[in-house]
Chains A and B, each alone.
Chain A
C-alpha cells in the first residue's frame, strides 16, 4: 500500500512538473531567439500577461479555446512590435523598454479585465487532457506522461521546431550571427534590423502563448498578475540553459519540478515546514541558479547592444 501511494505520488509529480513547466518552456524558448539575435527582452512578464488576458477574453466571449490561442498570439505580436519598434528602430535602451512593457502589461490587463469582465465568475472551460489510445492507459507512465492537455504536448514540437529553425535554417544561422557580429551580417547583405524584428516577434508570440496556457489550460480564470514572475524566471532559465533551446526545455522542466513539489508538499498532511517556504521554492532556485551559473560562456556578445549602421 505504502509503495503504491508513493508511486502514484511520483507519477502525479512528474505529470505536474511537465504541465507547470509549459509556460516557462514557451517563454524561455522565445527568449532564446531574441537573445541570440542580441536583443534582451525583459518584457516577458508583461507579454505573458497580455497573452493570458487576450486568450481568456477571446475564449470567454467566443467559447472557443482555439480562438483564445489565436488572440493570445496576436496580442503577443502586437506587444512584440511595440518593443521592437522602440528598441530596434528608435534604438531606445532595451532594459527600459522591457520594464515599460512589464508595467504596461500588468496595468492594462488589470484595467481591461475590471472594465469588461467584472462578472466572469464562472470562467471558461479549460483545455481537457487528451486521451492517447494505449499510451494513456499504461500503468504509471500513462499517469505520469500521457494524460496532458494539448498545450503541454505542444511544448515538444515547439522545442523541436526551435532547434530546427535555429540550427538548420539560413534564418537561424543569420540570427545567431546577428547577436555575435551584426556588422558581418550587414556586410553579407542582410538587414540586421529585420532579423532582430523577426527574433523579437517570435519571442513575444511564444511568451504570449506561455501566458495563454495559464488562463486556457491551467486556471479557468484571469487574475491580475497571473503570470506571477514566470516571465522573470524564464529569463533566468535562458541563462542557465546557456542560450540553447534544448537547454531551455530541460531547465524549464527542472523548474517545473519545483513548482510541482511546492504544490504537492502543500497538499501533504505533514506540516513541519511553513508552506510559504515551498511556495518560494521556484524563486529561490532562480536566485541560486543565477549565483551558481557565473561562467557566462555562450552569452551572445552583442546582447543588449543596438546596431547602428553608419
Chain B
C-alpha cells in the first residue's frame, strides 16, 4: 500500500426500475493494495463493479481513475485504462477455444488472425508462471467451472491490468486452488498491481486483504484496515447482527437405507471412465459428505444419480427401486431433490421469471396446475412465500431470474428443492455464492431436513461446510472412494492427504 489514491468512485447512483441498487456509493482504492469488498447477497457489489468496468452506466456519480474522470458506461475506456474484471458469471464464449476467447475484441476488427502460435505461447508462458494450468486450445464448453475460473483470471492477466477486480473468484475453487489464488494476488500486488476482491468467505478476506469496505443496502457503510478488525466484527457490519457459524447438530441414529449405490462405473462426458466401482449408502436422518478436489468424479456422480449421465454398470437403488436405466424425467418423478453444481446450466432458466423457475419441475402438478391450466395466483403466492422464507431479494415474483444477484439465485434454487417432496436430497455445492447470513439459514434448513428423516448426500469442495453438516465424510479421488472419515476437524490433515491421492498411513 502506498497510501496514494488510485481510484475514487464518488456518489454513484443506480436504479433498475423501482429497485435502488446503488444509493450514492463512495469507494476509494489506494494504489497497490488488495481491497476486499464485502456485503450480503444483493447489496450491490457486482453492480458497482460492473459500473466501474463500464458494463453498466451509472445514473449519477463519477469515477476518477489516476486523477482522470472515466467516461461512464464504456467498457473500452476501462480496458484502455487497464481495469480488468473477472466476472461472477463468466464472460467466456463456450464454443470458442481459450486462445480465441483471449483475442476476442483485440486489435482492429478487420485484421486477420495470424499469430495464434504466439498467442498460444504467451498463454502457456503466463499459465506456467502463475501455475494456473490453462491449455490454450481447450474448448471452453469442455472445461469444468473451476477450470473456467482460472481461464478467466488468466484472461485478465493476459490483457495486462493495473486494477484487477475479482467478483467472488473463490466461490467455485477448492481450498487448494484458493490458496494458490491468494498467493497469486499477493504476487500481483508485489508486481505493482492493485486488486479489488469480492468474497463471502471472511477468513480469506482477513488473510489476503489490506483494507475492507462493507456494503449494505446499496451503500458502502464502512471502510476499515484489515489489521484493525476481525471476522466477527466484519460479519456484524454486513448483517447487522452476530452470526453463528457453528451450528449444533443433534445426535440422531441413522435409520433405514434410503439410497444404495453399488459398484457404480460410469464414463464422463469426454468418454473416459469417470467413476470406478463406487459403492456407498445413505440412510435416513443422515448427511453423508463427499470431499474431493473438483474434477475427481464428483460431477459425474451427481449426474449419474439423476439420470443425466448413462451408467456403464452397477446399481443405484432409491427406497428399493432401481434407478439405472430410467430417464432423468422418470427419476425426477421419484422422491428425490437435487441442488445442482452449476445453477446456470442446470438449476434455473435465466430469462424466465422467478415464478416459472419455481415450478420448473412441477408445473403440471397440483397445486400449480389443475385440469391442464396453470394457477397463476397460487404460483405467485408460493413464490412470494419461498422468497420470504429463504430471504430471496428481488423486485418481485415476476422479475426475471437473471436480474437477481448470484447468491439470490442460489437461495431460490435451494428453497425450491427443499420444498419438493423427497426422501433423498442430492446437493452438489450448497452455499456457492451465498453470504454468511444466508449460509447460516440454509445450513439450518438442511439440518432440519436431516432431523425430519431425510437422507442427504452433500458433495462439496468446502471442508468447513462438510465438517459442520455431515455425519460422515467420504473422500473421492480419481473416480474412486478412497476413504471414510468422521467429521472431525482434528483429522483435517488426513482428509487432505486422501484428497491428494495419498494414503494417510504411509504418510504417518
Contacts and interface: CB of A to CB of B under 8 A. Distances in A.
B16 A177 contact: no
Interface in A145-198: 168-171, 173-174, 176-177, 180-181, 183-190
B96 A185 contact: no
A183 B56 contact: no
A173 B104 contact: yes
Contact of B93 (A168, A169, A177): A177
Contacts of B176: none
A303 to B, nearest CB: 13
A168 B75 contact: no
A6 interface: no
B79 interface: yes
A116 to B, nearest CB: 39
A189 B104 CA distance: 10
A175 to B, nearest CB: 9
A268 interface: no
B111 A177 contact: no
A181 B87 CA distance: 14
Given A176-B96, A187-B75, A189-B76, A170 B111 contact: yes
- Looking at chain B's contact residues, the main secondary structure is loop
B109 A190 contact: yes
B92 A186 contact: no
A188 B85 CA distance: 10
A170 B91 contact: no
A276 interface: no
A174 B111 CA distance: 12
Contacts of A301: 94
Contact of A310 (B53, B56, B76): B56
Contacts of B373: none
Interface in B74-91: 74-76, 78-79, 85, 87, 91
Contacts of A188: 75, 79, 91, 104-106
Contacts of A185: 93, 104-105
B113 A168 contact: yes
A181 B92 contact: yes
B465 interface: no
A188 B104 CA distance: 7
A183 B112 CA distance: 23
A139 B364 CA distance: 67
A171 B75 CA distance: 18
B475 to A, nearest CB: 36
A190 B112 contact: no
Contacts of B96: 173, 176-177, 180
Contacts of B78: 189
Q: How large is the interface on A (under 10, 10 to 19, 20 to 34, 35 or more residues)?
A: 20 to 34
A187 B110 contact: no
Contacts of B75: 186-189
Contacts of B111: 169-170
B370 interface: no
B92 A173 contact: no
A184 B109 CA distance: 16
A180 B94 contact: yes
Contacts of B104: 173-174, 177, 184-185, 188
Given A173-B96, A310-B16, A184 B91 contact: yes
Contacts of A174: 104-105, 109
Interface in B218-260: none
Contacts of A187: 53, 55, 75, 85, 87, 91
A170 B113 contact: yes
Contacts of B54: 189
A101 to B, nearest CB: 26
Interface in A45-73: none
A248 B56 CA distance: 38
A76 to B, nearest CB: 21
B110 A176 contact: no
Contacts of B92: 181, 184
A184 B85 CA distance: 12
Contacts of A180: 93-96
A169 B106 CA distance: 11
B121 interface: no
B40 interface: no
20 contacts: A170-B103, A170-B109, A170-B110, A173-B96, A173-B104, A173-B113, A174-B105, A176-B96, A177-B104, A181-B91, A184-B104, A185-B93, A185-B104, A187-B87, A187-B91, A189-B74, A189-B76, A189-B78, A189-B79, A190-B105
Given A170-B106, A170-B107, 6 more contacts: A173-B113, A184-B92, A185-B104, A188-B75, A189-B54, A189-B79
Interface of A: 168-171, 173-174, 176-177, 180-181, 183-190, 301, 310
Task: List 3 tightest A-B contacts by C-beta distance, closest first.
Answer: A188-B105, A189-B76, A184-B91
